[in-house]
Amino acid sequence: MFNNIAFNIKLLFSKERELYVLLYKTIGLFPNDINVYKEALTHRSNTQKTNDGKHLNNERLEFLGDAILDAVVADIIFKHFNNKREGFLTNTRAKIVQREHLNKVGLDLGLDKMVISAAHTQSHNSYLYGNALEALIGAIYLDKGYNSVMKFVETKVIDKELKEFAEEELNYKSRLIEWTQKYKTSIEFELVDTSFDKYNSPIFNSAVIIAGTYIAEGSGYTKKESHQTAAKAAYIRINEDKEFCDRLLTEDQ
**Residues with a known catalytic role:** 66, 134
What strand order describes the sheet that includes 202-210? 187-196, 202-210, 213-220
Closest CA to 252 of 211, 222, 203, 215: 211
Q: Are 146 and 65 in contact (CB under 8 A)?
A: no
Cα–Cα dist 72/60, whole Å: 19
DSSP string, 56-67: E-SHHHHHHHHH
95 and 81 Cβ atoms separated by less than 8 Å:
no
Cβ-in-10-Å burial (0-12, 13-18, 19+) of 125 comes to middle
